[in-house]
Structure 1
């Protein structure tokens, strides 16, 4: 894939919701007169609890609502409906979302999650829903990892980029943030010189903020920095010991890939290029 500059993007950060512990024993999914397409246990009766790293274009949490916008918000809202469950989105940071799944406080996670071997040790991961690419946002059009050396670079804490970025440019040059929006705020203020993350998220965030002075450049794959440049498979993370939930999610993925839902939803959020659904 050749390097290309993406449109710029940004969005309002969603209101944070407090994570409350759930001590109920798992119960079989069921709801009213609805006939579920799949049978699996959830941590709360009649609910699908979703640990959501709330940033567009992935998740836009609407306080007090059982729906959420964004790519994952759309997918999980439909999945819960077809499973006869009420979706409950809880706004969390990346590490807290992993903890929620491992500690019995969430069934699944939303937020454009890449499947990685390290994550697979503690949480369940599905087959890919779609494919994402990595990018750099800056005012000067930085477009390679080498060009980041000597610069102060922002990254979302708990993301897959932190460790390889610290190794590539030095930990003293890396600043961690709660969200891509926070990265863009410091970039605009001149406190950092670049940010790194998924190209779709950075592009959407910059465009939504109207930051015409910022550029997002998709990273070409670089064998020297594979963990930063090769992109990743976006999946639906879930509690590791819930095999029935994992099977249901994979059946749902196959359905929304074959009926065009994935392409349609991605296109709504600026990811209509075929490279996002085919490798």
Structure 2
């Protein structure tokens, strides 16, 4: 993408953690998917770290990736990777990792795939195999009343998360006294629900997910209209899977599988199932 939503700090830049210190995620034990059905015929042939299995490094970051009871992983990216593993007749083995270790897991060939809201960037493309775009992610307002433009929130108290790229621009446009910085989205959403905050600014994906997870609050999500004063609003990010650099056959297979899942509506279903508009699917 032409502009990252967050400032790059370290080798990995996730939509929900770019420019922020990344911490370890939940449990450190992996999970294995369902056994491959007898007689399953893969659509493609390519090599993997472990024969007949797809090893996936997961950075748990809802709604991109969610750890469910029993160690199973869901979320948008998690749902899509399950479909690809099924298409290729591979046993899915998922391992939660800290954000800072996510990309390194693939670079060092300990995992075939990294997922968790990874954005396409030129820097990342130099060291990883980046798939076709799964879906687009941008900047959104979330609040009791729907807002879609910077002008809509002028004079109001707007919450942001520490480290997001748009923070400085919003402080300039709205005034620092009107921009409240939170350490996590949990606190921001809590204040929205309790009326202590007028609007919050999150990625499009997380805003949709948070609204879905808090139905009683009746939070409204509005995509921020492009505004030259806030650079991050002008270019949405592209969420991809990161693969081992040089595994051309695997990258080609994933790209074809992703196109098939976009065409049959599976990606759209994964998005809507996690509170995100189906219109975000694809590039």
TM-score by length of 1: 0.69
Match of 1:4?
A: none
Q: Kindly provide the CA deviation profile for residues 89-127 of structure 1, in whole angstroms up to 9, marking residues without a partner as x.
A: 223454332232233332222233332223323332122
Superposed displacement of residue 206, structure 1: 2.6
After superposition, what is the alpha-carbon deviation per residue over 1:26-66, rounded to whole angstroms, capped at 9, x for unaligned? xxxx997543322222223332222223344332323545x
- Is 1:78 matched up with 2:80? no
The residue number in structure 2 matching 1:115 is 120
| Residue of structure 1 equivalent to 2:141 | 136
- RMSD of aligned alpha carbons: 3.8
| Kept after mapping to 2: 8 A contact 1:156/1:197 | no
Measure, in 1, the Cα distance between the counterparts of 2:139 and 2:27: 28
Deviation at residue 226 of structure 1 after TM alignment:
3.1
2:280 match: 276
Q: TM-score, normalised by structure 2?
A: 0.68
User: Is the 2:212–2:275 contact (alpha carbons within 8 Å) kept by the matching residues of 1?
Assistant: no
CA distance in 1, matches of 2:144, 2:65: 26
Cα distance in 1 for residues equivalent to 2:111 and 2:197:
34
CA distance in 2, matches of 1:148, 1:113: 31
1:165 aligns with 2:172: no
Does the C-alpha gap of structure 1 residues 154 and 121 become closer, same or farther in structure 2, counting only changes over 3 Å? farther
Partner of 1:41 in structure 2? Answer: 47
Matched positions, count: 248
Question: How many angstroms does 1:142 deviate by?
Answer: 6.0
Matched, 1:203 2:208: yes
Distance 1:181 1:18 in 2: 23
1:218 aligns with 2:223: yes
Structure 2 portions without partners, runs of 5+: 1-24, 31-35
2:165–2:232 contact (8 Å) kept in structure 1? no
2:8 equivalent in structure 1: none
Distance 1:165 1:60 in 2: 26
